[in-house]
Structure 1
Amino acid sequence: MLRVNQVKLPAGHSGADIKAQAAGMLRIPAGDIRQMRIVRQSIDARKKPEIFYIYALDLEVKEESRILRRFQGKENLVCKSQQQIYRFPEPGSRVGRLPIVIVGTGPAGLFCGYFLALHGYRPILLERGKCVEERQRDVEAFWETGRLDPSSNVQFGEGGAGTFSDGKLNTLVKDKDGRNRVVLETFVKFGAKESICYEAKPHIGTDVLCRVVKGMREEIVRLGGEVRFESQVKDLCIRDGRVTGVEIEGGGHLDCGRLVLAIGHSARDTFSMLHDRGVPMEAKSFAVGLRVEHPQSMINESQYGMEEPGELGAAPYKVTAKAGNGRGVYSFCMCPGGYVVNASSEEGRTAVNGMSYSGRDGRNANSAVIVTVTPEDFGSEHPLAGIGFQRWLEEKAYAIGGGKIPVQRYGEFRERVNGDGQQFPAGSTGILSPKDEGRSGRQESGEFSEITPQCKGQYVWADVSRILPKECNEAIVEGMEAFGRQIAGFNRPDACLSGVESRTSSPVRIRRGDDLQSEIRGLYPCGEGAGYAGGIVSAAMDGIRVAEAIAREYAP
């Protein structure tokens, strides 16, 4: 099998065109290509609006050795394919008397449970929230009415926080063992489009992700595992330095031989319980900021040279800068054609996130513009100080927006941060009056803005500049101005900012050793909530790693 790189074709080509172009590069008839597999597809927009696709292909061809000799010294173009074949540890003949229990059904818990079930271990998965079908109804009701279910929302429930997101599936985690590929192939098995296995920036969308999650759960059950919903773990049972079971809300008890902690980054009450039980953990850096919305047509024009890109789909972007105060500022969780969503999980606190459906066909693009914060910013050395910092920001966002998503035009935000804008008096709610709202909706030219916030959940015009610390606001303004030099119009005064984006990653790391266990034996911290992942795919990969570690313990 040959790996052929840098196969370049214009947008609008067919599968036959790919094969013909590859044959031309190899100087062989197209009929000599017996089999073709797309390994990677990326977009080359350097000469926009003339857009090209760039492919890496695996080809089975006649006279492979002769072709390799022809390209000797040009291995960057043609070389022997080194396919990564994922292998799970061989199941042991002995399986523990007590079950393997997994806490959480986000990507980490779901993939850990799926791979254990696939190899005969029959895990029990405990989820504090509801199944994805019921969870969808609860989330839609919250967005419509503002009535929050603290156990079933954008953060909690089957599929985890990533279920109500753009569903981006790219990761920077090294994949020498093939886990990344097997995660993508598993998504395809349960209903995702096959192209996610080779797109440079694959995404799945909330609508498809919900179906995939349900399919994986049903397969775990078919294979002999269990998935128990509305089963929040309230306490651990520890004896002689080893976990022996869990106490479940409502009085239930479950013994276990191994316990996987695949809790999400918002399981704040669970973090507190774990700290009280002496589970070693530490505060970690994360990032906070605001969501920014622009017309998707503007982003398309900047990235592709056309407002309507057709088959290319809504254009993404990624921007980074460094502020004068030394803080990094960057876009995060960019959602082409997406929505800003109320992602709150606690009463009296407001958090936002971004979401796209698989079609990415909304009128606005949004991303978080975030600033790194470290334990030094939290005001305490306590391991859970980052949670306190998040709550402080979310309480301010709730008060300023009156429980709705607070939104402000960037031009006005910039004025207030720079100190030359009208200030709200002390004690003010920060919600704009009808007069202020009209002012906030104008561009500098005096014309009304073409940007209307595209939100899931109610929103209100408010003084968003009052949420974050001064140094974070200043860094965001510097970043927005720098991004305006990278993407024309990014710093336009009518761009919409909403807050607060506080759940970018876990504020806590639950310590584990090289064997992936805590100092409390039999306890496996796992995934994003435990501090070992940063997105859907990396969390799923960590879930597989933990499943492998458990399987090795049972090996003969």
Structure 2
Amino acid sequence: MSTLVQISILPHQQENKDVVLQLALEKAKLKKAKLGDWRIRKRSIDARRKPVKLNLQVELWQKDEVGTEIPVYLPQQVSASKEIAIIGAGPAGLYAALRCIEAGLKPVIFERGKDVRARRHDLAKINKEQTVNPESNYCFGEGGAGTYSDGKLYTRSKKRGNVLKALQWFVHFGADPDILVDAHPHIGTNKLPKIITSMRKAIIEAGGEVYFNSKLTDLRLKNSQIEAIEINAEEWHTFNEVILATGHSARDIFYLLHKKNIKIEAKPFALGVRIEHQQKLIDQIQYHGDDENPYLPPASYSLVEQVDGMGVYSFCMCPGGIIAPCATSPEEVVTNGWSPSKRNNPYSNSGIVVSIQPEDLPNFEPGDPFVCLDFQKMVEQTCWEAAGKTQQVPAQRMIDFVEGKISADFPKTSYQPGIVSVDLNKVLPPLIAKRLQKAFVMFGKKMKGYYTNDAVLHAPESRTSSPVFIPRDPETLEHIKVKGLYPCGEGAGYAGGIISAAIDGINCVDAVVEKLASSP
């Protein structure tokens, strides 16, 4: 049995392994002569007071003990195996495919967008030419939304599956091993494409298949069982097991399921704005003025308040990051944030969003599965119109927004297509705008200096999660009415980020394996 101990060190001490080990040995009351091996298991920042410290969880083994190995990806050849269709090559789809191979099943991935490298050209067109390709953008394409929108790997979904295994697979395909240690692991948009490419190559080398520019357009059922899928409105492929991992922005899939009388439901989601501060300011606030410490990373924050019966909270906070245009159709604007691996841009951004229940909405009707989706679309189109019907976004300085004043000018923004000065109180629905106004004042009391007119709101932050839920059986993970259809990941309402989506992909394949094993 190993021994786990918790120690605190000053940031600069992490460079000195002897100091770390000595503190861990003292805490464990273990002599160095009896030590066999040791490693840092977890690392987090404690910035509650000055001086800022690092909290480390250290694992120690005595000489007669054996350290346990972390599970890794175990490939095998599956070219002639049972075929499983996977719709979508985001984290849920890719991890489902890798788990298929481990289990001896053959994954066949159909991705509506382009491969991870080809996507770059379409992202450049959004930023420079303000042209949106509905099939290839920040949300659609190999790797899914997470590939080009930050690559944060933090999840609270410890009960949903093996988080360590999911992280280790990322390391196996090229991620920095530090993600196994950091409390809030992050890969970075600059590094994820290479990792995603390595995953795809491994899937193909094992006998799996991956098809790009291949959009699911229809399903054929027989006796409430999946029989075949149609791709690009022209090709039918026979599959009895289909993992639906299409992401939170594949609205056409929701409409298709509804048209086929496959049950879907309205789902709570969140909507608001993306706020941008100078990263130096956030560092000063969070590190109590110790913002020049070279051993501390760019600071992040997490904020939440209850405002008039609804939660208002920070979402997808990106230290040293960039605000990106994430529309999936030409007549809408959407913002999101991302950071490179070093998080070394001068800006800090975060979504600040209001949690919405379907019954909160003015257009609510019981049983309408599209009430939240329609509201989301309405806000995105209104913002598009307010900013001039381009990929520029409506914007306002924070205090100006709270006080209802049009901003006369702006500091430089990281949002490349550009921003347009508007009164967001007249653009955003009142149930959103009024709560954001109150929340920003409250946040300023929690973080002294956060409430400043140097901060700029970019609207909207609207793709926090899927506004539609695809119900599935909790035991078989199949749709409650359709055998062989496995709603999976963020798009179905079962995940909220890269790791939780990856885990759900693994879980769905485990359910397929169990079903096939029990079949006659």
TM-score normalised by L of structure 1: 0.87
Which shifted more, 398-407 or 528-537? 398-407
Residues 139 and 10 of structure 1, relative CA distance in 2, 3 Å threshold: same
Which shifted more, 180-189 or 51-60? 51-60
Residues 456 and 181 of structure 1, relative CA distance in 2, 3 Å threshold: farther
User: Which residue number in structure 2 is paired with residue 373 of structure 1?
Assistant: 356
C-alpha offsets along residues 200-250 of structure 1, whole Å, 9 cap, x if unaligned? 111111111111111111111111100100000000010111001101115
User: Which residue number in structure 2 is paired with residue 169 of structure 1?
Assistant: 153
Q: Distance in 2 between matches of 1:553 and 1:104?
A: 22
1:530 to 484, 492, 514: 492
Q: Secondary structure at the match of 1:47?
A: coil
Q: Secondary structure at the match of 2:210?
A: strand
2:130 to 124, 141, 146: 146
> Are residues 1:412 and 2:400 paired?
yes
- The letter of the residue matching 2:343 is R
> Is the CA contact (8 Å cut-off) linking 1:39 and 1:58 kept in structure 2?
yes
- The letter of the residue matching 2:213 is E
1:516 to 464, 473, 477: 477
2:163 to 147, 171, 180: 180
Aligned Cα RMSD in Å? 2.2
Q: Distance in 1 between matches of 2:331 and 2:160?
A: 45
Query: Matches of residues 51-450 of structure 1 in structure 2 within 5 Å?
Result: 51-62=52-63, 99-175=83-159, 179-305=162-288, 306-323=290-307, 325-376=308-359, 377=361, 378-381=363-366, 382-402=368-388, 403=390, 404-416=392-404, 421=405, 439-441=408-410
Distance apart, 1:118 and its partner CA: 2.8
Distance apart, 1:89 and its partner CA: 12
Q: Secondary structure at the match of 2:246?
A: coil
What stretches of structure 2 of length at least 5 have no aligned partner? none
Q: Secondary structure at the match of 1:46?
A: coil
C-alpha offsets along residues 14-50 of structure 1, whole Å, 9 cap, x if unaligned? 22322222112233332422111222111122332x2
What stretches of structure 1 of length at least 5 have no aligned partner? 65-79, 422-435, 442-450
User: Which residue number in structure 2 is paired with residue 17 of structure 1?
Assistant: 19
C-alpha offsets along residues 85-120 of structure 1, whole Å, 9 cap, x if unaligned? 7699999x9x975x2100001111110011112332
Q: Distance in 2 between matches of 1:339 and 1:499?
A: 14
C-alpha offsets along residues 524-554 of structure 1, whole Å, 9 cap, x if unaligned? 0000000101111111110010011111122
Which shifted more, 162-171 or 502-511? 162-171
User: Which residue number in structure 1 is paired with residue 7 of structure 2?
Assistant: 7
C-alpha offsets along residues 418-450 of structure 1, whole Å, 9 cap, x if unaligned? xxx4xxxxxxxxxxxxxx66x244xxxxxxxxx
- The letter of the residue matching 1:15 is K
User: Which residue number in structure 2 is paired with residue 499 of structure 1?
Assistant: 459
User: Which residue number in structure 2 is paired with residue 424 of structure 1?
Assistant: none
Distance apart, 1:51 and its partner CA: 2.2
Distance apart, 1:455 and its partner CA: 1.3
Q: Distance in 1 between matches of 2:232 and 2:451?
A: 48
Q: Secondary structure at the match of 2:201?
A: helix
Q: Distance in 1 between matches of 2:20 and 2:156?
A: 27
1:37 to 30, 36, 39: 39
C-alpha offsets along residues 354-388 of structure 1, whole Å, 9 cap, x if unaligned? 11111111111110110011111143331122111
- The letter of the residue matching 1:262 is A
Q: Distance in 2 between matches of 1:498 and 1:254?
A: 43
Q: Distance in 2 between matches of 1:261 and 1:176?
A: 18
> Is the CA contact (8 Å cut-off) linking 1:90 and 1:555 kept in structure 2?
no
Distance apart, 1:311 and its partner CA: 2.5
Residues 88 and 510 of structure 1, relative CA distance in 2, 3 Å threshold: farther
Q: Distance in 2 between matches of 1:415 and 1:291?
A: 18
Q: Distance in 2 between matches of 1:232 and 1:286?
A: 26
> Is the CA contact (8 Å cut-off) linking 2:225 and 2:484 kept in structure 1?
yes
TM-score normalised by L of structure 2: 0.93
Distance apart, 1:175 and its partner CA: 4.0
